[in-house]
Amino acid sequence: MKKISLLIIALLAAVVLAACNDSSAASDKDTVKVKIGVNGSDGAQWPVLKEKAAKEGIEIELIEFADYTLPNNALAQGDIDLNAFQHISFLSQYVKESGNDLVPIGSTMFAPLGVYSEKIKDISEIKKGDKIAIPDDPSNQARALRLLESADLITLSDSFGLFGDPSGIVENPLNLDIIPMVAQQTPRVLPDVTASIINNGVAGQAGFSPGEDPIFKEEGKDESIYPYVNTIVARGEDKNNETYTRIVELYQEEDIQKVITEDTKGGSALVILTQEQLDKTFEDLIK
């Protein structure tokens, strides 16, 4: 009798264990894993987003890249599923040059370019012959030059456009020495230049507060900022992927806005564009 009881107990234990294993396997199967390429994963919004997504069966893995072109190449090649590091203007330039089919599927934040300095406290203190470092990628280079123009330091040609370079400067009354360089280098050269125009994300990685430290920065106004709104990007074939769309929706919720504002001390703001606004801005830029 004891042997029969022990056999029954053993069989029941095996059934329970098998059920647990099946449940675990089903749980793993139900979880959708999404790799998102980023350029610096220290933003406080990411842990919040990952936690929210996990509750809906979406496991987000952040893949960090040190160079601006690498996340787009990795996405085009299928090494990652999405990326979230660039504005629409940068993406359009990449697509035009590479021919790869990448598209914006959701807006994230507007992060103003800022002028930083270790030598002066106000943009008006820039004097004749001073050296100014700017990012050298086409979209941010043009954007930085427009920022200098808005500070009345230079004048650009009427045909300058969104991807102009220093050759588009028609007036430089202070004979400023404007030095394009890789964006990640712009904080590092501060001891050697009067001022440096630094991307918001790069500034944050370098220990600056983009909301408090710039001596001058961009001001976002209406549709003029659309090309510089950061985005979540997918391959063209995945534009309507329901999981990716849900990630965008989770990112654009109020709690993420609050985290971004607090984390950047007001240096960045969540901007929600409709898909139609994204598509129009992107398509206008890649013509």
User: Where in the chain are the domains?
Assistant: 31-111+223-286, 114-218
pLDDT tens for 114-140 read 999 999 999 999 999 999 999 998 889
Q: DSSP letter for 115, please.
A: E
Task: Identify the pLDDT of residue 41.
Answer: 63
Common-topology check for domains 31-111+223-286 and 114-218: yes
Q: Indicate the fold that domain 31-111+223-286 takes in CATH.
A: D-Maltodextrin-Binding Protein; domain 2 (3.40.190)
- Retrieve residue 149's tokens: 């123009």
The pLDDT of residue 113 is above 50? yes
Phi first, then psi: what are they for 232, rounded to 5°? -95, 130
Phi first, then psi: what are they for 104, rounded to 5°? -80, 135
d(CA 55, CA 241): 19
Q: Which residue has the tokens 């427009």?
A: 146
pLDDT tens for 148-200 read 999 999 999 999 988 899 999 999 999 999 999 999 999 999 999 999 999 88
The pLDDT of residue 59 is above 50? yes
- Retrieve residue 117's tokens: 């300095």
Q: Mean pLDDT, to the nearest integer, of 246-255?
A: 97
What homologous superfamily does CATH list for 114-218? Answer: Periplasmic binding protein-like II (3.40.190.10)
d(CA 264, CA 236): 31
CB atoms within 10 A of CB 165: 15
Predicted TM-score (pTM) of this structure:
0.77
Q: Which amino acid is at 148?
A: L
Q: How confident is the model at residue 224 (pLDDT cuts 50, 70, 90)?
A: confident
